[in-house]
Amino acid sequence: MRRTFTIVAVAASAVGLLAPAAGAAGKGDWHPAPTEPFVTSGVCSFTMKGDIVRDTTEARTLSTYPDGSVEVEEARGPLVIRFTNASTGRSVVRDVSGHALIRYLEDGGREYHFDGGGSIPVRVASPGFPPGWYILHGRFTVVGHTDGTRIFSDVHATVENLCETLT
């Protein structure tokens, strides 16, 4: 099911969306930021498999903290994933390409500003986003806290729950 709406919701996920690359190129230089294939349980009522169809995403550091750790990172590029219900074999291909700014918070959390596509698992029921694997297309912000909760805000996007699509 796809729908468009504006919401503020709390969600939880143990999966990070983007991590700074160890030994990445210097500040401001673009470097590859590939997404690995995955198998995940505990989001949908079935195990979800993700195979990367196309990925030429890249990232760069925009600013760092005084200790040299990344404060703000920018990511961009094409990313297409085949999502498969491991129980039935039913699959769909989704283009989650886009642009994101990621702020690494001092407490270990992260703030993501997306323009384009996003693939976000939600593990714990919360207002507006029950558990599911969401594909969003548009503009939206997600804050990921160290306890695993995610706060979605300024969601101006189409939203698809792959748990429903692949059931």
Cβ neighbourhood burial of 122 (10 Å; 0-12, 13-18, 19+): buried
Interval 150-160: pLDDT, tens:
788 888 999 99
Residue 127 pLDDT level (bands cut at 50, 70, 90): low
Q: Which two tokens stand for residue 88?
A: 């039935």
Residue 149 pLDDT level (bands cut at 50, 70, 90): confident
Of 10, 4, 6, 36, nearest to 151 (Cα)?
Answer: 10
Sorted by where each begins, the domain ranges of the chain are: 2-15+32-165
- Output the CA angle 84-34-43, nearest 5 degrees: 35
Interval 45-67: pLDDT, tens:
999 999 999 999 999 999 999 99
Residue 112 pLDDT level (bands cut at 50, 70, 90): very high
Interval 23-48: pLDDT, tens:
445 678 999 999 999 999 989 999 99
pLDDT of residue 39: 97
CA pair distance 47, 40, nearest whole angstrom: 6
For 85, other C-beta atoms within 10 Å of its C-beta total: 20
Query: How is 20-43 classified by DSSP, letter by letter?
Result: PPTTPPSTT--EE-PPPPEEE-SS
Q: Which pTM does this prediction carry?
A: 0.80
CA pair distance 57, 66, nearest whole angstrom: 27
CA pair distance 94, 69, nearest whole angstrom: 32
